[in-house]
Amino acid sequence: MSTPPKSDAAPQTLDAALRPSRWDEYVGQTQVKENVRIAIDAAKKRGGMPEHLLFYGPPGVGKTTLSHLVAAALGAPLKNTSGVAIERAADLAAILTNLEPGTVLFIDEIHRLSRKIEELLYPALESFHLDLVLGKGPSARTVELALPPFTLIGATTRVAELSGPLRSRFGGGVYQLDFYSDDEVRAIIRRSAALLGLRAPDEVIERIAARSRATPRTANSLLKRVRDYAEVHDRPLTAALCDEACTLFGIDALGLTKDDRRYLAALEKGFRGGPAGVRALAATLHEDTDTVEHVYEPYLLRLGFIERSPRGRILAPSGRGYLGGEHPL
């Protein structure tokens, strides 16, 4: 099975090392930033906490980073957890009852919370209490547990999988973080190069930006891989070296990898250009449906190489052109 782009994208340490720690270092997403700042500043003025926030968007576009910045701007403690980690009612109760008052509770992959946990969470979000059922059968009783006030920040790559009732609890707003423009990606690479102590000429920054799938994490990861290649060969960072390294990595001029090419080729050859159901496509590729839908497709859709129709995926003329060699390596 091939490796999805996300896992080759970045070891945690790189994410952590290059993660902006100041508001002004966070490039792009201007409207989201402005709205979130208003919520933060208003809360600070009132001397309270902002309402709960939800950030959604593709992997690596800055959801975790922005959540950390919100906590920092509030001067609030941050508690990190994830939807996968909260399996039982007791897990949730342990987290919530131990929060320091005024904490930002960050729940990553919030779409993974079970319905049971979601329902338990509602009163906690609305009025900072938990209704816990103690015991079983006729002797079961409910106790109400008061909680310290907190702000929840949820993050997800799959907003569609969130239930309506949970979505409606994010009174501070539901914000989409989108792909980045070329200029923004270049600014991110420039900053990262400086942090890594690299002398990267503009043409190198441009080359890497063009292959970064409009995604900060991919940009940082590719910068680091090209740096490694240059170091191993004891050569300076040049455009030619970038091209050479990317050819070796199997990353083409648009940032597409062999997995993307396999996807497009399967759609063209296996399904005559579609429409093809995502499950059938995934089975042909020996991939799981989630990876195909949430890792490969968003960028192919953004490039306009594929389209989603009610009957399935369709290869767009530009996708066909790409396979025909309009965008060589």
Q: Which residues bind Mg ion (CB under 5 A)?
A: 63-64
| 103 assigned to active site | no
Catalytic residue among 217, 224, 227, 313: 217
CA–CA distance, 151 with 106 (Å, rounded to integer): 8
61 binds ligand ATP (CB under 6 A): yes
Please give the radius of gyration of the chain, using alpha carbons only, rounded to the nearest integer.
22
224: phi > 0 → left, psi -120 to 50 → alpha, else beta; which?
alpha
CA 309/CA 287 separation, integer angstroms: 21
Q: Which range binds ligand ATP by CB under 6 A, 23-31, 86-94, 110-118, 275-283?
A: 23-31
CA-angle at 247, arms to 244 and 250, nearest 5°: 155
Q: Of the candidates 172, 216, 298, 319, which one interacts with ligand ATP according to CB under 6 A? A: 216
From candidates 20, 102, 270, 277, binder to ligand ATP by CB under 6 A: 20
Quickly tell me which residue has 């062999």 as its tokens: 258
Question: Choosing from 156, 157, 218, 257, which is the catalytic residue?
Answer: 157
Question: Is residue 308 a contact point for ligand ATP (CB under 6 A)?
Answer: no
217 is catalytic: yes
**Of residues 250-269, which lie at the interface with ligand ATP (CB under 6 A)?**
none
Kindly state the helix (H) or strand (E) to which residue 78 belongs, with its residue range. strand 78-82
Catalytic residue (one of 108, 178, 252, 260)? 108
How distant is the alpha carbon of residue 129 from its chain centre? 30
Catalytically annotated residue among 6, 33, 63, 213: 63
Q: Crossing angle, helix 30-46 and helix 63-74, to 10 degrees?
A: 30
190 binds ligand ATP (CB under 6 A): no
Binding partner of residue 28 among Mg ion, ligand ATP, none, CB under 5 to 8 Å per kind?
A: ligand ATP
Whether 108 sits among the annotated catalytic residues: the reply is yes
Structure tokens at 35: 């709205």
Q: Is 131 helix (H, G, I), strand (E, B) or coil?
A: strand
- Token readout for 176 is 């989409």
From the list ligand ATP, Mg ion, none, partner contacted by residue 216 (C-beta under 5 to 8 A by kind) = ligand ATP
Q: Whose CA is closest to 293, among 183, 158, 123?
A: 158
112 binds ligand ATP (CB under 6 A): no
Is 62 near ligand ATP (CB under 6 A)? yes
> Active-site residue numbers?
63-64, 108, 157, 217
Site residues for ligand ATP per CB under 6 A: 15, 18-20, 26-29, 59-65, 155, 157, 188, 216-217, 220
